[in-house]
Amino acid sequence: MYSSPNDLRLLAPEKDLVQLASDGRIGQWADPPVQAVLNEAIDQADGEIDAYISLAVELPLNYTPKIISNLSSKIAVYNLYRRRATVPDHWRSEYDRCLALLDRIASGKMILPDEVGKDGAVDDAAVDPGRIVVVNSKRHNWPYTCEE
């Protein structure tokens, strides 16, 4: 898994996550049914991520870049809200941003650190594992790296 239930607590209050995962019952964070729903939301998010990034990199990844872990957490929280009748607008917008980023990775406009250097376009020694590389060869002859 690219993220864990504990990662979701960095994005949303624990009580909200428990409420979303407990199917209307009063639950606690450590309850096995709550953890099972949280893990299922993450698993669904990871499957969606794999569908996109498999177009650009060979799976499984050698390690999980921070950006993929972050996307997994955000999409998992969105999945938890989606289980309810309505998804808050800010989570719907966040999900759309996640898909746009995944689309950039899938199209090769953004290269995950695991992929850097495969075709010699970017020197992998120049990129730290916690970074992403954005390649825009039409404007510049150099890669621009940015931190998450």
- Tell me what pLDDT residue 136 has: 42
> What residues does 141 pair with on adjacent strands?
none
CA distances to 33, 48, 99, 147 from 60, rounded to whole Å, are 28, 14, 20, 23
Strand runs labelled E in 40-143: 110-111, 131-134
Structure confidence by residue, pLDDT tens digits, 44-72: 999 999 999 999 999 999 889 999 999 99
The domain spans of the chain are 5-109
| DSSP classification of residue 123 | -
| Whole-prediction pTM | 0.77
Instruction: Name 59's Cβ contacts closer than 8 Å, sequence gap at least 6.
Output: 50, 53
pLDDT tens digit sequence for 10-25: 999 999 999 999 976 7
